[in-house]
Structure 1
């Protein structure tokens, strides 16, 4: 349940503004019903007569609408920039940015508070009201939030900041997985071939991406489960997700399936975003190979953390049952991250060299179970690149990078 709630909050751009809107309504209620109670406690200057208060509320609402119009226009420009220069998959990173959500929420809260009080002020029994004073404070706060929002916008469209944010996002997911292994909340076992249990199959109830594996539902259940899909896989309605080893399958939704992928349990999704940014950088329309190189270096560092865990699938055990959760292999992660770069950037020796540099970084602390995967992938790139067609100096440069990638830290 907690993971599903975290997924909803992480991928939702409306929840925080909704809470601010509810806060605006609650603040209106408090102002209308308890304004006279605070009359003796608050400064007299923040109380105005009804006509003056209505004028202040109306002016505040008008100025706020101007800021909101400018903010929404800016958001549309930024979304276009994210989609065209980075990747459509990175748009959600901006929409779910905390500064954006809180700024929009404060605007909504101030707007709701101003409109509701402007509507109710005529029915007030008091000659003077508190609503205008609070409205001014909210508008001042909105102005500060607007300035902060513009700063956030100017920073978020910088490629380096986006790459760094994606890097931190992936490392956080991997750190949670490693901590769970260290605390023996889950184990890593050798990958098992997909086979059918003599039990009950679990089918996908909808088409979409596997977003979560709900291991917390295991609790004290005594029935084994084995998945045949990994978090991040795309499944169609009716696809087999796994098998229960037993006569009767429990009524449990072990997998959360949604329309979009989520990185909460899937660091490979963040790697995919970085790979797409790299592909955008080497495209003729963008022609920014340095951004591509930076993105590939970040991929290498994410792989460094990911490869510290041994190869295999995740196992959750409660001494009564074992739940096997399939995990995306390092081979698949490497291929999906770097094969497109090879296809579209094989003519750029510096981008290709950064791929070998990323593999070298990935192997700094890698578990020995990944050694063959890395070596096979370097062989794949060496065979795919036509080194004989390069200038001797370019060939020597790439060969040296490949040699460095093949070295394993003692």
Structure 2
């Protein structure tokens, strides 16, 4: 449940604005209740007569609506840019941007506060009201948030910033996994290639991506579980996702399945986003190979962190039962993220050189058991590259990069 709530909050674009809206209602109630209480404590210029207060509230509401209209138009332009130049999978990175959510929330709070007090201002018992002064302060805060929002937008549409954000997103997930392993919350065990399907099968209740494995539900259960899918896999309704090793299966839903993937437990999703940006950069329509090279370098650094762990599956144990959860292998991640580059950029030696550079970076601190995986990936690229198509200098450049990717660094 905790992870589900965290996932909802991380990917929700409405929760923070909703809190601000509730705050606007609460502030309206407090203003109406305690306005007279602060009458002798606050300076007189904050209080206005009824007609002036209504005029100020009306003016601030109108000006705020203008800023909101401009902000929404800017958001639509940015979303179009993200979808067309980067990847549709990166749109959510902007929608869940902290600055954008707080700016929208402050606008909503000020709007709700202004329009509700404009409705209530005529009911004031005294000839002066406090709400107009507070409304002015909220508008000043909204102007500051609007300027901050414009600065955030101008930065967020830069490819380098988006790549850096995805890079940090993946590293944070890998760091959480490493911390869980070090604290012995989870263990890495050898992957099982053959499963003995004995017990009770667990099937997907709906079609979609496996977004989370709900490990906190293990509690005091005494029944072993083994999955046959990993977080990030796509399953159809009725697909086998695992099995309980008993005749009676606990009534527990272990996987969160949704329409879109999440990187909360799946660093390969962030790698996939970077790979898509790289592919978009080398497409004829965009033709931005430098962005592609930059994205591939970030993929290499993420793989460097990921490869400090050996291949294997996650095993959660409470002393009474073991829950075995599949984990994507390095070979799968390497192939899915890097092999498309040779399909679309096999004529660009610098993009292909960056692929070998990413492999070199990935194996800088890699676990020794992964050497054969890296060598197999390098051999794959060596076989599929059409060396006869390149000039001797180009061949020399690529082979030099390839040889560096083969060499293990102590």
Q: Does 1:189 align with 2:189?
A: yes
Equivalent in the alignment of 1:88: 88
Number of matched pairs:
410
Q: Give a deviation string over 1:111-160, Cα, whole Å, max 9, x none.
A: 00011111111122221111000000000000000000000000000000
Equivalent in the alignment of 1:339: 339
Equivalent in the alignment of 1:278: 278
For 2:160 and 2:274, how far apart are their aligned partners in 1?
A: 11
Instruction: Give secondary structure in 1 for the equivalent of 2:244.
Output: strand
Equivalent in the alignment of 2:99: 99
C-alpha contact 1:196 1:243 (8 A) present in aligned 2: no
Gaps of 5+ in 1: none
Matches within 5 A, 1:165-184: 165-184=165-184
Equivalent in the alignment of 1:354: 354
Equivalent in the alignment of 2:33: 33
C-alpha contact 1:360 1:405 (8 A) present in aligned 2: yes
Deviation at 1:194, TM superposition (A): 4.4
Gaps of 5+ in 2: none
Equivalent in the alignment of 1:74: 74
For 1:159 and 1:314, how far apart are their aligned partners in 2?
A: 34
C-alpha contact 1:61 1:115 (8 A) present in aligned 2: yes
Q: Give a deviation string over 1:148-202, Cα, whole Å, max 9, x none.
A: 0000000000000110010000000000000110111100000002424321111
Instruction: Give secondary structure in 2 for the equivalent of 1:227.
Output: strand
Instruction: Give secondary structure in 2 for the equivalent of 1:241.
Output: strand
Equivalent in the alignment of 2:308: 308
C-alpha contact 1:227 1:326 (8 A) present in aligned 2: yes
TM-score, normalised via structure 2 length: 0.99
Deviation at 1:340, TM superposition (A): 1.1
TM-score, normalised via structure 1 length: 0.99
- Structure 1 stretches of 4+ moved >4 Å: none
**More displaced stretch, 24-33 vs 35-44:** 35-44
Deviation at 1:368, TM superposition (A): 1.0
For 2:131 and 2:166, how far apart are their aligned partners in 1?
A: 43
Instruction: Give secondary structure in 2 for the equivalent of 1:220.
Output: coil
Equivalent in the alignment of 2:22: 22
RMSD after superposition: 0.8
Q: Give a deviation string over 1:100-119, Cα, whole Å, max 9, x none.
A: 00000000000000111111
For 1:173 and 1:194, how far apart are their aligned partners in 2?
A: 29
Matches within 5 A, 1:388-399: 388-399=388-399
Matches within 5 A, 1:38-187: 38-187=38-187
